[in-house]
Amino acid sequence: MTATIPSTTAEIIGRVPTDLFIDGRWVPAASGATFAVDNPATEETLTHVADGDATDARRALQTAVDHQAAWAATSPRSRSEILYRAYQLIIDRTDEIAAVMTAEMGKPLPEARGEVAYGAEFFRWFAEEAVRIGGDHTITGDGANRIVVTRQPVGPCILVTPWNFPLAMGTRKIGPAIAAGCTMVFKPAELTPLTALLLTDILREAGLPDGVLNVVTTSDPGTVVGEWMTSGRARKVSFTGSTEVGKLLLGQAAGSVMRTSMELGGNAPFIVCADADVDRAVDGIMVAKMRNMGQACTAANRIFVHRSVIDDFTDELAARMTGLVVGDGSADGTQVGPLVEAKAADKVAGLVDDAVGHGARIVCGGRRPAGAGHFYPPTVLTDVHPGAELMHTEIFGPVAAIIPFGGPDSDGLDEAIALANDTPWGLVGYAYTQDLDRADRLSTELQVGMVGINTGLVSNPAAPFGGVKESGLGREGGRLGIEEFLDVKYVARPIRTS
């Protein structure tokens, strides 16, 4: 179907490169194949992009390998300046990037602009980190030797990103890889290749040397990424996506003992204690639940609310959710866009039906609208049973599932923490309380990589983002982010005594 999107967005989409990017040039797939990129709000096709295969993958990786030594030898300051320039270009082109992002994945334009600011900030952060790669110098206990600890780029990296934050998930990996001096092969998600291709063009414009970043879009990720993973020539894989694919890549990485960073799925608990400021907690859940229409690894998946405040919390949340404007993310005033694809909307509908089958009550929403687009309405469920499937899987949609805890004689904290930790995932947990001791206990005992106390947002380029348990390995952003792309080397040197 031909797109009937507004001409300005159509013009912007028309300017986005649609080929593969290898050795500093835009090239079609070796096979000449392309695949369609659709708008989830209208179900219309926006454009087609190159459909890379194993041949393209090999060429891209060979290029990254060939350029690694020269790139590693560049000065930290020159790499830093490329990142600063790219940061500024992204900011200057905010509206254009946001329009592309909204068209291909659905989030409302204000959220897309927010992601542009967030995503760009990783480049500014790692521009600052590029010139601060440190080392260490000590003397052995017997005084006979120097220990000189240095850091070197790990080598050619495989970067694989999901569709839900099409810009930021790319900059969070490309930024530190550039800063550290690593060359890259990059495969963005097949649902959202356009934002990644626009980002690639910005890096080219910012002066990134040929061959440092090589991008292969494909409708067959298993083949392209599999080619890279089993080549024995990449030294690192940085993956953001589902735990299922992450486990597959970890298995492949074992073949060449490749370094891995894994940012995987979550099942975030959101705990509202008896002493919580309920208004603030509702503000927090609106962010933790509704950012990106609930399609975030950090999305609050299980909302545990103390029985003494559950009615106030539920009523206020339902009022806020009912008042949200659902529609095409590119339209003025839209607050909730479509889900990314039909499969996603079907999954959310199935989870709600299953929860209702287990005794949950629908307070608002729960009914899919007719017509084009993969829409699902903001929905609040209460009395959710621990056996319901949505307690054990990422909802990835605008559905708030409320579970009561505690009672008149109990703050229920033991129960809430036990329920929160009863999952194989451990990315983030949120808690609302005004009691310092409770906040301390929750911060310590939640089995997660990140905790939000009285806030529904933990993502920040200056913070180490990442999870424990099946939510992943390693950290992105913050002071630790660049370490993922550096190997430590220690040099022993005798100290001359004469």
6 vs 255, beta carbon nearer ligand NAD: 255
76 vs 226, beta carbon nearer ligand NAD: 226
Q: Which of 248, 324, 372, 468 binds ligand NAD (CB under 6 A)?
A: 248
Q: Which residues, other chains included, contact 347 with Cβ-Cβ below 8 Å and sequence gap of 6+?
A: 396, 397
79 vs 475, beta carbon nearer ligand NAD: 475
Block residue for tokens 């060359």? 183
Q: Which of 176, 221, 366, 406 binds ligand NAD (CB under 6 A)?
A: 221
Q: Containing H/E element for 346?
A: helix 342-357
170 vs 366, beta carbon nearer ligand NAD: 170
The region of 20-28, 242-250, 302-310, 435-443 touching ligand NAD under the rule CB under 6 A is: 242-250
**Which residue is closest to ligand NAD by CB?**
241
The region of 124-132, 133-141, 236-244, 325-333 touching ligand NAD under the rule CB under 6 A is: 236-244
181 vs 241, beta carbon nearer ligand NAD: 241
User: Applying CB under 6 A, does 160 fall inside the site for ligand NAD?
Assistant: yes
Residue 157 annotated in active site: no
Contact string 469-488 vs ligand NAD (x = CB under 6 A): ---x----------------
405 vs 425, beta carbon nearer ligand NAD: 425
Q: Are 470 and 265 in contact (CB under 8 A)?
A: yes
Q: Which of 12, 180, 225, 364 binds ligand NAD (CB under 6 A)?
A: 225
Q: Which of 227, 394, 470, 484 binds ligand NAD (CB under 6 A)?
A: 394
Pure H helices in 131-192: 168-180
Which amino acid, residue 326?
V
Q: Which of 135, 207, 222, 359 binds ligand NAD (CB under 6 A)?
A: 222
Pure H helices in 93-183: 94-105, 109-130, 168-180
User: Applying CB under 6 A, does 61 fall inside the site for ligand NAD?
Assistant: no
The DSSP symbol for 482 reads G
Contact string 249-278 vs ligand NAD (x = CB under 6 A): --------------xxxx------------
In whole angstroms, the minimum distance from the beta carbon of 266 to ligand NAD comes to 5
In whole angstroms, the minimum distance from the beta carbon of 264 to ligand NAD comes to 5
Establish how many alpha carbons lie within 13 A of residue 348's alpha carbon, considering only the half-sphere containing its beta carbon.
30
150 vs 242, beta carbon nearer ligand NAD: 242
The DSSP symbol for 334 reads -
Name the residue among 86, 53, 64, 25 with its Cα closest to residue 216.
53
Site for ligand NAD in 363-392 (CB under 6 A): none
User: Applying CB under 6 A, does 245 fall inside the site for ligand NAD?
Assistant: yes
Cα torsion 190, 192, 196, 197: sign? positive
Site size for ligand NAD (CB under 6 A): 26
In whole angstroms, the minimum distance from the beta carbon of 76 to ligand NAD comes to 26
The DSSP symbol for 43 reads -
Q: Which residues, other chains included, contact 133 with Cβ-Cβ below 8 Å and sequence gap of 6+?
A: 76, 151, 179, 180, 482, 486
Coil, helix or strand for 492? strand
Name the residue among 135, 82, 200 with its Cα closest to residue 486.
135
Q: Which of 157, 273, 297, 364 is an active site residue?
A: 297
CA distance 82 to 84: 5
Establish how many alpha carbons lie within 13 A of residue 379's alpha carbon, considering only the half-sphere containing its beta carbon.
29
The region of 9-17, 94-102, 156-164, 276-284 touching ligand NAD under the rule CB under 6 A is: 156-164
User: Applying CB under 6 A, does 294 fall inside the site for ligand NAD?
Assistant: no
Q: Which of 427, 431, 450, 486 binds ligand NAD (CB under 6 A)?
A: 427
216 vs 273, beta carbon nearer ligand NAD: 216
User: Applying CB under 6 A, does 171 fall inside the site for ligand NAD?
Assistant: no
Residue 263 annotated in active site: yes
Q: Which residues, other chains included, contact 109 with Cβ-Cβ below 8 Å and sequence gap of 6+?
A: 98, 99, 102, 329, 330, 334
- Give per-residue burial for 418-444: e unless 16+ CB within 10 Å, then b: ebbeebebbbbbbbbbeeeebbebbee
Cα torsion 464, 153, 244, 50: sign? positive
Active site residues: 263, 297
In the complex, the residues that contact ligand NAD under the rule CB under 6 A are 160-165, 169, 187, 189-190, 221-222, 225, 240-242, 245, 248, 263-266, 297, 394, 427, 472
